Amino acid sequence: MDTIFFSLIDKFVLVMQQLRRTKLWTSIFRREHLPQTESDFLAMNRKNFFVHILPATINKSSMRLTYSWFWMGVITFWLFVILVISGIFLMFYYVPSVERAFDTIRYIVNQVDLGRYFRNLHKWAGELMVLAVFMHMIVVFFKGAYQRPREFNWIIGILLLLITIMFAFSGYILPWDQLGYYAAKIACNIANSAPFIGNQVRQGLLGVDNCNNLDQFSLIRWYVIHVFLLPTLIVLLIAVHFWRIRKDEYSTPPEEAA
Ligand code: HEM
């Protein structure tokens, strides 16, 4: 399995090297000196964040699929990309109104071309992302990668985990069906019970004085949280997370580090 994986990476590097020499590439990305030798190419990679998220030089045993449980962090990232694409599709039809939310979901599923597919894709990718982010955290914990010098990235990771859970929870509310309505009510009661600032938190998150009267303000707030606030936060934090992975160097299995 690992041999196939490494040979795929080698092939990818070769294709990239050839692509960089094409006229199309050089007409878009102007470079005074194109990399001619392998060491030039490696030097260029070392500087370029977008070429890959891992550091340019990395211990071969850190790349074993079993070391990161099949790149669970990468899987989490791609699930997020699927969620963004399918979420944009859903936004074309979903109306965040207490009268129309549920009907628009039914419309998407029953009438819109590929609607059922995109809705289910969004739902499944959301559930799987929660699972993947948990598994990724467990992997990081058991390989001890939370220790120095990666403790800052561990904290960023915890924030990413909380945001992922908030994503799932806020998405649950949006159809404004029985499940969504009562989920919002639970959120309202939890917010209400915050010590000292319960009133303010409830007002801020649900826009109502009484958790028995959830209305349009409650739904629109969770909609804005789901489609704007959380995505903005997660994109920023993922960028910091990836930047730190490069700066901290990817961890090495203990038997190799010794
Ligand atoms: C949206 C959520 C997340 C995404 C997209 C993400 C993505 C990634 C990726 C792509 C990697 C490198 C490859 C890999 O190890 O699989 C990584 C490594 C890492 N992640 Fe995450 N991650 C997320 C959440 C978390 C969480 C919840 C934690 C812990 C609380 C965490 C802590 C770390 C640490 C410490 C590393 C470095 C691992 C090492 O050097 O061995 N991440 N992450």
Residue 63 DSSP symbol: G
30 confidence band (pLDDT: 50, 70, 90): confident
- pLDDT tens profile 45-56: 777 766 667 777
- The domain spans of the chain are 1-51, 70-257
Burial 168-186 (b: 16+ CB within 10 A, else e): ebbbbbbbbeeebbebbbe
pTM: 0.86
Which CATH number, 1.10.940.10, 1.20.810.10, 2.60.120.10, 1.10.287.3510, labels domain 70-257?
Answer: 1.20.810.10
CA dihedral 176, 177, 182, 183 (to 10 degrees): -60
Whether the CB-CB separation of 219 and 200 falls below 8 Å is answered with no
Cβ neighbours of 102 (radius 10 Å)? 17
**Among the ranges given (2-16, 84-98, 220-234), the one the predictor scored with the smallest mean pLDDT:** 2-16
Q: What does the pLDDT read at residue 258?
A: 55
**Residue at token pair 């989920």:** 183
Distance 106 CA to ligand 1 centre (A): 36
Cβ neighbours of 29 (radius 10 Å)? 9
Ligand 1 contacts (CB < 6 A) are: 53, 68, 71-74, 76-77, 80, 133, 136-137, 140, 143, 145-146, 150, 153-154, 157-158, 160-161, 164, 238, 241, 245, 250-251
Distance 97 CA to ligand 1 centre (A): 36
Instruction: Using alpha carbons, select from 142, 155, 129 the residue that is nearest to residue 231.
Output: 129
Residue type, 32: E
- pLDDT tens profile 198-237: 999 999 999 999 999 999 999 999 999 999 999 999 999 9
pLDDT at 17 over 90: no
